[in-house]
Amino acid sequence: MELQFITHFTEKYSYYDSARMALEGGCRWIQLRMKDASPEEVEQEALRVQALCRTYHATFIIDDHVELVKKLHADGVHLGKHDMPVAEARRLLGNGFIIGGTANTFDDVKMHYEAGADYIGCGPFRFTTTKKNLSPILGLEGYRRIVSQMKEAGINLPIVAIGGITREDIPAILQTGVTGVALSGTILRADNPTEETRRILAIK
C-alpha cells in the first residue's frame, strides 16, 4: 500500500514537525500543502522539508506551486482544477518531475491521463474540513466505479484515494482497486502521529 502524507496547518505542529513524524513512522511520500501561506513562506518551509525528505530517501511533492518545484528541484507537484493545467506543468517541468492531478470523476482521470499526469489524487472519500469547496463525496462505490471505468478504457495510472480517510477505512478502500491513500487529519489528530503512521503502514 502506498501512503502519502499531506501537511496541514495545526496549532500543535509545524509543517516541518508533522512531516518529520510521518517520516519517522515510515512514510516515504510527503506532500507539502500550505494553503493561505505566502510564496515566501512556502519556499522557506519547502527547503527545510525537502532536506528532511532527502535524509529519509522520501519523495517530496509540493502542492500547487509549479515554479517552486522547478526552482528547488523538488520531486514533483500536485495540481487540481484551479491550478496550472497538467499539460502546461509538463511542458514547464519536462519528464523528470512527478505530476499528480486531482480527480472526482472518470472524465477528470481521463483528462489528466491524456495530459501526462503520473498519478491521480481521487476524492473526496468522505467529508473533511482539511479542504474547502469539496467536490461530491465518492465513498467506496465511487472508487469502484472509477477503477472499473479506467480498466474498460485501458487507462493504467496509480490512483490515490483522499479525503476524510481514517485507518479503519483503509482495507475497504484498497479492496476497490485503488493503489494507495493520501492522509492528513487522521495522522495529525492521533495522540502519537508517528505511531499512527506505523500502524497505518502495517495494513496489508
Ligand X SMILES: Cc1ncsc1CCOP(=O)(O)O
Residue identified by cell 483503509 is 170
Could you give the CA distance from residue 184 to residue 198 in angstroms, rounded to a whole number?
Answer: 14
Binder to ligand X among 76, 124, 142, 193 (CB under 6 A)?
124
75 in contact with Mg ion (CB under 5 A): no
CB-based contact 62:77 (threshold 8 Å) = yes
Distances (CA, A) of 183 to 32, 40, 52, 148, 153: 12, 25, 19, 23, 28
- For the bound state, the minimum distance from the C-beta of residue 165 to ligand LCLJCK34, rounded and expressed in Å, comes to 11
Least separation in angstroms between CB 86 and ligand LCLJCK34: 11
Residue 142 binds which entry of ligand X, ligand LCLJCK34, Mg ion, none, CB below 5-8 Å type-dependent: none
Cell of 50: 525537502
Angle at Cα 66 formed by Cα 63 and Cα 70, nearest 5°?
120
Of 2, 24, 67, 83, which one interacts with Mg ion (CB under 5 A)?
83
Annotated binding residue 131: yes
Residue 80 found at the interface with Mg ion (CB under 5 A): yes
Is residue 183 involved in binding ligand X (CB under 6 A)?
Answer: yes
State which amino acid sits at residue 20: R
Enumerate the β-bridge partners of residue 181: 3, 161
Residues in contact with ligand LCLJCK34, shown as a per-residue x/- string from 24 to 63 under the rule CB under 6 A: -------x-x-x---------------------------x
Q: Does the annotation flag 31 for ligand binding?
A: yes
Number of residues engaging ligand X in binding (CB under 6 A): 14
Residue set of the binding site: 31-35, 63-64, 83, 102, 128-131, 164
* Chain contacts with ligand LCLJCK34 (rule: CB under 6 A): 4, 6, 31, 33, 35, 63-64, 78-81, 83, 100, 102, 121, 131, 160, 162, 182
* Chain contacts with Mg ion (rule: CB under 5 A): 64, 80, 83
